[in-house]
Amino acid sequence: EAHYRNSELKTKELERYKLDLEEKNKEVVLGSKYKSEFLANMSHELRTPLNSLIILAQMLYENKDGNLTEKQVEYATTIFSSGNDLLRLINDILDLSKIESGMADMVQGEVVLEDVLSLAERQFAPIAKKKGIELELIKQEMIPSIIYSDEQRISQIVKNLLSNAFKFTEKGKVMLELGKRMMNEGSIQKEFLTFAVTDSGLGIPKDKQGLIFEAFRQADGTTSRKYGGTGLGLSISKELADLLGGYITLESTEGIGSTFTFYLPINEEQTSDTQSPSEDE
Ligand code: ADP
């Protein structure tokens, strides 16, 4: 009987231990949720005053009454551009914390792929012209014209990749190629759209290629680094690609250039939970 009681005690102890562990896990999950909520709230609180600061600085540097000296206009311009840098950082932090806490708004709908390409062209043609870099958009044959996914998020990823490509390229060409590829996922074959962004820029050393997808990490970690930026664009893009069921790969050679490829599963049919109201009638 003593033996029996002993093993009963052990079982109870084990149960208690398991419960403890579950509680601890819950705390960890809650902790990170509170942290993300806090970050999201903070970002909102920071954005409001910053927005007025930016607008007022703009009104100043425009100097419509002509009352300001040249120096004063220069100071106002700096306040404006620094304010915008800070706003970009806050927006990125807000975006990443929302994604990480599972609060990112994802909208499933019709994605017209031609629209994604033409938006990219409109966004980047001026930068290409200014930097004297060629921008080439290629659409392979047999690409569906419409898929079901989140158009705004797809464009956000493509924009991040293109803006890096232009930032880290001084001459040559930046190319966005829309293609299609079959990939093995375990034993099943799955069809993916590929958005490949290729540049003839700096390239990324092999030992830095994994780390640049982490938040706040940049290949050039020195304090005197030449290129600005938050180090958040790629981690946001990676998380978003993941939420869309895809992923991003990187091939790069230092001094020659890089190709970032965003793989997006092809969903040519609208699933029942993503039906638009108009089609329910
Ligand atoms: P940011 O561009 O704001 O620094 P990202 O997360 O977008 O942040 O990129 C992280 C780092 O990855 C960059 O700082 C840069 O070192 C490297 N990187 C990203 N894209 C490229 C590219 N096309 N060519 C060279 N380096 C790149």
Amino acid at 62: E
Tokens of 209: 């290629």
Give how far Cα 132 sits from Cα of 101, 118, 126, 129, 258, Å.
Answer: 41, 20, 10, 5, 18
The reply to whether the predicted model has a pTM over 0.90 is: no
**From 161-165, 214-218, 258-262, the region with the lowest mean pLDDT:** 214-218
Distance of alpha carbon 149 from its chain centroid, rounded?
Answer: 16
The atom of ligand 1 lying closest to the CA of 202 is 25
Amino acid at 55: I
The atom of ligand 1 lying closest to the CA of 235 is 6
Give how far Cα 212 sits from Cα of 104, 162, 225, Å.
Answer: 22, 16, 15
- Residues with Cβ within 8 Å of residue 140, at least 6 apart in sequence: 177, 178, 179, 180
pLDDT band at residue 94 using 50, 70 and 90 as cut-offs: confident
Nearest CA to ligand 1 atom 11: 218
Question: In a mutational test of the pocket of ligand 1, which residue from 163, 218, 224, 248 has the highest number of ligand atoms less than 8 Å from its CB?
Answer: 218
Tokens of 105: 């708004």
23 lines ligand 1 (CB under 6 A): no
pLDDT in tens, 36-66: 677 777 777 888 899 999 999 999 999 998 9
265 lines ligand 1 (CB under 6 A): no
Res 219: pLDDT: 77
230 lines ligand 1 (CB under 6 A): yes
Distance CA 155, CA 266 (A): 16
Q: Residue 170: what are its φ and ψ, rounded to 5°?
A: -100, -30
ipTM of the complex: 0.97
